[in-house]
Structures are given as C-alpha cells and as structure tokens.
Amino acid sequence: MNVAELTDAWTARLGDEVTTEETTGGLAVGVPAEVWVEALTFARDELACDYFDWLTGVDEVEEGFAVVAHLYSLELRHHLLVRTRVPRDEPRLATATAVYRGADWHERETFEMFGVVFDGHPNLIPLLLPDGFEGHPLRKDFVLASRVAKPWPGAKEPGESGHGAPSRRRVRPPGVPDDWGPHA
C-alpha cells in the first residue's frame, strides 16, 4: 500500500478523529487515546502491520505525553507510526499487549521512564531502574543528579593558578535547584 491508500483507509475508518502525516519511511497517524487499541487492531488486521517494532513516550511538556508505536507490514512493506497523546496530570492509556504481545516490555519501560500508566497491562512493574528509585527520569522536569555541579578534587578555577586570569562565575545547569550540589 502506498501512503495515499493508507491515508484513505485511516480516514474511512476513523473519519475526523484521525490526523495523518507523510514521513520519510511511511505514514504517521494521530488518534485519540480513547481509540488507541482499536487503531492498533485496525493496523494489524486491516493494514497487515504484523510486525510490532517499538513503543515509547515523548514528553511534550504543555501538551502532555505522546505515546508512539512503530509498526511494519512484512507482506506489503510499509511503515506506520501510530501516536496518541495523554494528559500530563493523569497519563493513562489502555494497554496494547492484547494486540501486540511485544508491547509488554515497551509499555513497562514507558511507564517507568515517563509515568504513563497502561491500564490492563498484565505486569506493569519496573523494568530498568533499581528498586526504590523515585521519579521518571525521561520527563523533562526530572532533575538528574549528574547535572549538579560537583567539585573535582584538586581542580582549580580560572584565576586560581596565580596567573591573574579573572575568576569564572559559577552557573548551575538548567533545572538544578539552588540547594543542590556544593556551596561555595
């Protein structure tokens, strides 16, 4: 199927609820969160997208979180990105594991890294982070401890070497609270 045929199929199925955009590798389809599972089922059953490649989240700050799945048709050789958006204050979406079993670990990772809860997931437990880890490290508002300026043992600031160069002003990286790190 070419991009025009894929676009027509999506429009016939979901009408005004769907947005489509041609991409380098195929077609990107935006669907409302309420029809997420229906859209993935349609892609699998009607558009022959039998290969589930990946699923992830994207922190779009004010708009919430985008959840994106990449699908491929081995038979018809077309790529398809199916995406939806969930609100930042309550990021919930129905699980895709009943449609694509391979979505299991991808949803667990997206839950862990972005905080998107996949309702109905059979085993939504942490996958990558250590026990007791708090927060969602791929959210743009998450402060990474590695961003906190830490003094290097024996390091000298410009001007401290005795050569008379002016001292550099200490600036914290973006997102680092004032009370983190060493205090001069």
Please report the pLDDT score of residue 73 as a whole number.
Answer: 95
Does some domain include residue 167? no
Handedness of CA 147, 66, 28, 44 (dihedral sign): positive
The structure tokens 């961003």 sit at: 147
Pick the closest to residue 57 from 69, 47, 46 (CA basis): 69
Q: Is residue 75 part of a domain?
A: yes
Q: Is residue 86 part of a domain?
A: yes
- Domain assignment present for residue 176? The answer is no
- Please check whether residue 88 lies inside any domain of the structure: yes
Strand residue runs (E) in the chain: 19-22, 26-30, 51-59, 65-72, 79-86, 92-94, 117-119
Q: 99 falls in which pLDDT band (50, 70, 90)?
A: very high
Report the CATH number at residue 95.
3.30.460.80
80 is in which domain, residue-wise? 3-119
> What is the mean pLDDT of the segment spanning 25-46?
95
Q: What is the mean pLDDT of the chain?
A: 87
Is residue 156 domain-resident? no
Q: Is residue 137 part of a domain?
A: no
Produce one character per residue of 9-45: b if its CB has 16 or more CB atoms within 10 Å, e if not: bbeebbeeebebeeeeebbbbbbebebbbebbebbbe
* Residue 60 confidence (pLDDT): 95
Asked whether residue 170 is assigned to any structural domain, the reply reads: no
Q: Which amino acid is at 78?
A: H
* DSSP 8-state symbol, 35: G
Between 48-52, 98-102, 152-156, the lowest mean confidence (pLDDT) is in 152-156
Number of domains in the chain: 1
118-138: pLDDT as tens digits: 999 999 998 898 888 888 999
Task: Name the pTM for this structure.
Answer: 0.77
**What angle in degrees, to the nearest 10, is found between the helix axes of 3-14 and 36-45?**
130
pLDDT in tens, 54-75: 999 999 999 999 999 999 999 9
pLDDT over 70 at 155, yes or no? no
